[in-house]
Structure 1
Amino acid sequence: MSDPISITRNGHRTWLKWHRGRRRAADPVFTGARIAEAMRLGASVEIDLVITGDKGLAVLHDKTLDRETTGSGTVASTSDNVIRQFSLRGNDGAPIADPVMLLDDLCAMMASGSVHPDALLQLDFKEDDTVLDARAIGRFAAATRPFASNMIVSSGNAAAVAMLAGAVPGMLTGYDASDEEKFKAMLASGQLDRFVDEAVAAAPDVDMVYLHWQIVTLAADAGCDIVDAFHQHRKRIDAWTIREINDETLAQVERLLRLKVDQITTDDPEGLAKALMS
């Protein structure tokens, strides 16, 4: 099969985003080899970032080290050099050979490899703006500036996105508007147009809006094409995250494709692409 990059249905192309750097469900997260592969092939791929004790950015999802790495304690209290000594853990929790990377390390790896012009690396900042200072923003900018056209910085905190992207001209931006409690309240009161308006008002300049996939399908069940509503505001939509590929999730993916989401986040891009094309 071809590489799992995108699916085109009825003239609309939907990207398959490699969630946490995974091409296949069996892959461990955040390994340099898979991220480099995605960038070389022109895929959309996502990593998470959290602040270290030196105001660097570790390529990790959690603010603590214990689950994802061979280290322990908080990322924020651990120096860059110590973090680099830890290994990642595989899906079974056992240590693997791949080291924990900082954003600096990942960008250095990209500089020594090949980056397809269509590749897009999502830098999903898992914290808020209160942990960002001039040092953290400066380090982010220095690492990412050479690859700005192939990156999109995102967060559920709009202020953090503005601060980080403001230091890197040309970098795309994204905002996770998946406040499910707010969504369900507005769904119940028939005010989904307000949900869209408030999301756009919170982050008016972003290029991509990230929504839990059930927000998209529940809105459609209520007669609201929330994807089109955001498209009217010139926002692309990423629907996250399809974790397993089975009959139930495939049916939901088909709905998302009919609704013309621009990107589907999945832990198994290869399995999803194969199932959709079978």
Structure 2
Amino acid sequence: MSDPLYLERDGHRTSIKWHRGRRKPIDPVFTGSRILEAMRLGASVEVDLVIHADHGCAILHNFALDAETTGTGLVRETPASVLRELNLRGNDGQPIADKVMLLEDLCALLSKEKPHPDALLQLDFKEGHAALTPSIVANFGASVAPVADYLILSGGDFDAIGMLTNSAPKLRSGYDPCYGESLAKLQATGDYQTFISEALATAPDADMIYLAYEIVLAADKSGFDIVAPIHAAGKRIDAWTIRQVDSSTIPLIERLLALKVDQITTDDPEGLAAAFAS
């Protein structure tokens, strides 16, 4: 089997993004070995960032430690030294050998093992700008600057993304409007044109717009191509997240490819590549 990197359709390439560092659904999330594999191959891969007690970021999705790690309590109240001693949990909830990584740990690994030129690591920042302090911003910049060419920072609070992006030259940024007031307004009005216009106005410097694939397809069903204005603005679009690749999702993926999304986020990159190999 070839490595799950991208799909080609009608002259357009759509990257396959390894959600939370997974190559296949059975993989545990956020393991250094899988993330480094993806970066070595030239894949697109995503990890999440949550602030910890020592003014830095941990590679975790949840604000609480219990579900993802062998720790308890809040990430925000846990020192870096304690986090590094915690084990991650697998899909069955049982501890695995891999430890929790901090952002600087992951960036150090990338510095030692130079990624493929096409590799792209998405850092999805889970917090808002109110959580940021000068120390957090400075530590973030120091961590990512040496490998910024291979990174893109994303989130739903573009004020926070802007603050962090400015701390590291060459770092690209992305914006996800599928949260908060923006999403609430869309759900109330069904006005996809205004939704995407406001997203583009909010994040004029973003390289990538991240949209829930359900929104992309709902807009299409209503007769509005939500991808076109993103491309017209010179930006790329990621459609997230295909959890399983099966008979129920393959037609949805077919339509996303027809709409020429630039990236599809999935927990099953191998399954996605295999399903469309022919």
Shift of 1:183: 2.2
CA distance in 2: counterparts of 1:182 and 1:264, whole angstroms: 25
Q: Corresponding residue for 1:105?
A: 105
* SS at structure 2 position matched to 1:14: strand
In the alignment, the residues of structure 1 paired with residue 55 and residue 170 of structure 2 have an alpha-carbon distance, to the nearest angstrom, of 23
Q: Which residue of 2 aligns with 1:218?
A: 218
Normalised TM-score (structure 2): 0.97
Whole-angstrom CA distance in 2 between matches of 1:217 and 1:139: 39
Partner of 1:149: 149
Structure 1 residue ranges without an equivalent (≥5): none
What residue number does 2:184 align with?
181
| CA positional deviation for 1:184 | 2.5
Name the structure 2 match of 1:16: 16
Aligned length: 275
Q: Deviations over 1:212-257 (max 9, x none)?
A: 0010000000110100121111221100000011111111000000
Contact 1:186 1:194 in 2 (8 A): no
Task: Please tell me whether the aligned partners of residues 49 and 123 of structure 1 are also in contact (alpha carbons under 8 angstroms).
Answer: yes
1:116 aligns with 116
In structure 2, how many angstroms separate the alpha carbons of the residues matched to 1:111 and 1:203?
Answer: 29
Q: Does 1:3 align with 2:3?
A: yes
Q: Offset of 1:120 from its aligned partner?
A: 0.3
Q: Compute the displacement of 1:56 (Å).
A: 1.1
Q: Please give the secondary structure, in 2, of the residue aligned with 1:265.
A: strand
TM-score (norm 1): 0.97
**1:134-173, aligned counterparts within 5 Å?**
134-173=134-173
Aligned 1:238-277 pairs, distance under 5 A: 238-277=238-277
- Cα separation, 2, equivalents of 1:74 and 1:105: 20
Q: Distance in 2 between matches of 1:74 and 1:203?
A: 30
Amino acid at match of 2:153: V
Following the alignment from structure 1 to structure 2, what is the Cα–Cα distance between the partners of residues 114 and 274? 28
- In the TM superposition, residue 205 of structure 1 has moved relative to its aligned partner by 1.1
Rounded to whole Å, the distance in 1 between the matches of 2:210 and 2:121 is 15
Q: Distance in 2 between matches of 1:38 and 1:227?
A: 26
In structure 2, distance between residues paired with 1:69 and 1:251: 36
* Greater Cα shift, 257-266 or 107-116: 107-116
Amino acid paired to 2:186: F
Amino acid at match of 2:123: L
Shift of 1:202: 1.4
Residue 152 of structure 1 aligns to which amino acid in structure 2? I
- Look up the match of 1:194: 194
Report the Cα offset of residue 109 of structure 1: 1.1
Matched letter for residue 36 of structure 1: L
Q: Aligned-pair distance for 1:181?
A: 2.8
User: CA deviation digits over 1:35-87, x for unaligned, max 9?
Assistant: 00001000000000000000110000001100000000000100000000100
